[in-house]
Amino acid sequence: MKTAQDIIIAPVITEKSMTGIGDKKYTFKVAKDANKIEIALAVKELFKVDVAKVNTVNVRGKARRMGRYSGYTPAWKKAIVTLKADSKPIEFFDGLM
């Protein structure tokens, strides 16, 4: 069984993901083989919050070139976690705004 640190890899800090914080939606980079239930339990364990729902997106790798060499960036999985209305916000994201 994987630990919560193995499931939640990193927060996604973009302009679009920061606008979701007002609606209590937080975006994380997660393990590719993690499901929604595992992600919800990992967020609950790491940040001590109540999770309302989890949406996942498999992000496809993009084609990139460096001179004559071409390849792809790695594919990864993104999870958008929505907290319950009475839940406290995640402190990690408070310092970023």
Which region among 8-12, 67-71, 84-88, 91-95 has the lowest average model confidence (pLDDT)?
91-95
Specify the residue for token string 């060499």.
69
Element (H, E) at 55: strand 51-59
The amino acid at residue 3 is T
For residue 41, give Cα distances in angstroms to 38, 61, 75.
5, 27, 24
pTM above 0.85, yes or no: yes
CATH of domain 4-85: 3.30.70.330
The amino acid at residue 62 is K
